[in-house]
Structure 1
């Protein structure tokens, strides 16, 4: 699945990913956006104001333009397009179905994620490999497809590289 053609960026003053995730989820819920919309976070480091910006993308121009109008009316700074091509997806088709332990094949078939990349290896994992989602799956756009970074865990399983509750020393890096 490639990124949808219509997108907007939402500027924020947030500096923590967890806060940006929450804002993105709240905005999408408040706008009544369907499950086929992509919502991403982007680390923006321009000038002296590093922050986490957001983007919303959809296959429908009407959906994106409706979101733009409502967000602008709410006082948000909105721009055309995404901030970069490497957004971290928080909202994407199938995200809600990625709970518990799934095989890599199930993860790919249930969601917009096209592949799993195990850190430190060039090979793709066996499709039958179990992946413990921890109900927190944040893939990144890479070369036009959503890719989940994973790492080996106990008992031959995989887990997403990003943890849902990072330790404070590492939470903002």
Structure 2
């Protein structure tokens, strides 16, 4: 991550709403496709999800901060933590359908894929069913996609696009 990041606090409490706002703001601000747009969970007295935008090599235009502030968002420099969940990142648009782990790594900014409960990294030829919803996380400066085993020897991203709420059947 670079020192050019901005954090946007919109008082959001839901990841899906935060994802949608990240896409909306990136479009309204005409941010380049190589920007990283992440969500960060903030705990404490006022738990919420904040957003961060980080371009890879140069600052966002000063007008971006001004526009975000004018829209009523609390904007601050930097990122709130080093463990953001990436929603926008270079190559995310190419991660659709079923791809091999090698394709995921070659087509996007994702540095590694890990499999929950498995030592090491998966074979590069292992197929990953993306569900068109690939949300890697920053871990020790690397963008890492947590995955889990699925039917037929495939993998799926750990985060599902439409999770079932806890106790949904009650």
TM-score between both structures, scaled by the size of structure 2:
0.94
Q: Per-residue displacement from partner, 1:89-146 (whole Å, max 9, x unpaired)?
A: 0000000000000000000000000000100122100000000000000000001010
Structure 2 counterparts to residues 57-76 of structure 1, below 5 A: 57-63=54-60, 65-76=62-73
Structure 2: which 5+ runs fail to align?
Answer: none
Q: How does 1:18-97 map to 2 (within 5 A)?
A: 18-46=16-44, 48-63=45-60, 65-97=62-94
RMSD of Structure 2 on Structure 1 (CA): 1.5
| Contact persistence 2:4–2:59 (CA under 8 A) | no
Give unmatched runs, 5+ long, in structure 1: none
Which consecutive aligned stretches of 4+ in structure 1 deviate over 6 angstroms post-superposition?
none
- Separation in 2 of the partners of 1:41 and 1:152? 25
Q: TM-score, normalised by structure 1?
A: 0.93
- With over 3 angstroms needed to count, the CA separation of the structure-2 counterparts of 1:36 and 1:158, relative to structure 1, is same
Count matched residues.
168
